């Protein structure tokens, strides 16, 4: 968790240092945690296969740190989103087909929750933020924005659910009673 926070802060600070003094900057970083280890982006297909084999039929955690900061350094806030992710018991053949697509090499943990037809996550058993696993926990971002008195023009939970097709049960807890 601390690693994701530190990396998100470092990313935001790097961009803020080059900004114009009137900008809010968002830094985000995601790590995949399995037991006591972290799974980054695989270096090659063999490492991707090992990662996917280690995740098969198990639950791991996706952790994203978000840092929103003023580029002058006068204001900063952070959020962390943790999502337990139950993986399907996919077949070695399905892994091989997925690896052949090349999609596994650009993703922490060697998979994308949205990647079809591989469909690695048992979404029906998941109780957490789908958008976090996909790359950016939108409700946590909205909560950060509210700390700066910024409010999106759209209903973010509704838009997220419409886009992902995932019925989210946690957004009321993150955002309060309304979106």
**Which domains, from first to last, does the chain contain?**
2-175 (3.90.950.10)
Phi and psi, residue 119, nearest 5°? 50, 65
Whole-model pTM: value is 0.92
Do residues 86 and 122 make contact, with C-beta atoms less than 8 angstroms apart? yes
Do residues 160 and 137 make contact, with C-beta atoms less than 8 angstroms apart? no
pLDDT digits (tens, 9 = 90+) for 42-90: 999 999 999 999 999 999 999 999 999 998 888 999 999 999 999 999 9
What pLDDT is stored for residue 36 in this prediction?
Answer: 86
d(CA 92, CA 23): 47
pLDDT at 178 over 60: no
Phi and psi, residue 72, nearest 5°? -90, 0
pLDDT digits (tens, 9 = 90+) for 129-159: 999 999 899 999 999 999 999 999 999 999 9
> Is 29 tagged catalytic?
yes
Do residues 130 and 166 make contact, with C-beta atoms less than 8 angstroms apart? yes
What's 116's DSSP letter?
T
* Three-class secondary structure of residue 46 per DSSP: helix
* Closest C-alpha among 50, 34, 29, 40 to residue 135: 29
What pLDDT is stored for residue 49 in this prediction?
Answer: 98
Active-site option among 29, 36, 46, 106: 29
């Amino acid at each position: 968790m601390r690693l994701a926070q530190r990396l998100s802060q470092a990313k935001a600070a790097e961009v803020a240092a080059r900004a114009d003094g009137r900008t809010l900057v968002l830094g985000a970083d995601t790590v995949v945690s399995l037991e006591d280890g972290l799974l980054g982006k695989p270096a090659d297909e063999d490492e991707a296969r090992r990662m996917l084999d280690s995740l098969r039929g198990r639950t791991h955690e996706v952790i994203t740190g978000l840092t929103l900061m003023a580029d002058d350094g006068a204001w900063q806030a952070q959020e962390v989103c943790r999502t337990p992710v139950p993986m399907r018991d996919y077949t070695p053949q399905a892994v091989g087909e997925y690896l052949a697509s090349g999609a596994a090499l650009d993703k922490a943990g060697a998979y994308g929750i949205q990647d079809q037809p591989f469909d690695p996550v048992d979404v029906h058993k998941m109780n957490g933020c789908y958008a976090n696993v996909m790359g950016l926990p939108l409700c946590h971002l909205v909560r950060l924005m509210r700390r700066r008195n910024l409010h999106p023009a759209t209903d973010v939970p509704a838009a997220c659910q419409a886009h992902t097709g995932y019925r989210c049960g946690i957004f009321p807890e993150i955002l309060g009673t309304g979106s």
